[in-house]
Amino acid sequence: MGLVLLAGRWIVAGIFLRSGFAKATGLADFRSAVSNYRLLPPSLVTVVAVTLPFAEIVAAVLLAVGIGPVVVAGALALLLVAFAVAIAVNLARGRVFDCGCAGSAAAPRMISWKHVAVDLVLAAVAAAVAVAPPPAWQAWRGPAGLVRMSTQPGGAFPVLVAVVVCLVM
């Protein structure tokens, strides 16, 4: 189970790293995407659009190397739930537009209930990592999770290779 959670930790980190870089390279487009959700006051749109990509990148790096994985994974789980709620609110309002998830580097991806489901599944993975952080490959553990997990010595490297291959594909 520890290796599964380690893979989950790296998958969530990889997704946020890729997403953060995509948004950071197209801040004007991402600002427009944040504005499209119509959930924030106009005065906060630019602040969120500028800080969120860099916060995602920092959180992804911290999670990947295992610095405070309980806190970081918990924060990312909450962020994923917030993303799911933002999309669900707009879908309930009958609105469909580019999610802004991948920045301007990718073709537009219209919000859908599939986005909500994927965000909630990723939130569950991040929450599981926060509750039972795998001890392998942790630079600084930080606060302990609710459950102690163990992994086989040397078992983390094949998991890392598999995660990298999946994220590249």
Give the number of other CB atoms < 10 A from CB of residue 92. 8
> pLDDT in tens for each of the 169 residues of the chain?
677 888 898 899 999 999 999 999 999 999 999 999 999 999 999 999 999 999 999 999 999 888 888 899 999 999 999 999 999 999 999 999 988 887 655 567 889 999 999 999 999 999 998 888 776 656 555 555 544 555 555 555 555 455 444 554 4
Q: Looking at the chain, how many residues does it have?
A: 169
pLDDT, position 68: 86
pLDDT, position 132: 80
Nearest CA to 138 out of 75, 63, 32, 71 is that of: 63
Q: What is the pTM of this model?
A: 0.80
Look up residue 91 and give its two tokens: 């879908």
pLDDT, position 163: 46
- CA dist 133 and 126 (Å) reads 10
pLDDT, position 137: 58
Is the Cβ–Cβ distance between 73 and 63 less than 8 Å? yes
pLDDT, position 140: 52
Is the Cβ–Cβ distance between 118 and 103 less than 8 Å? no
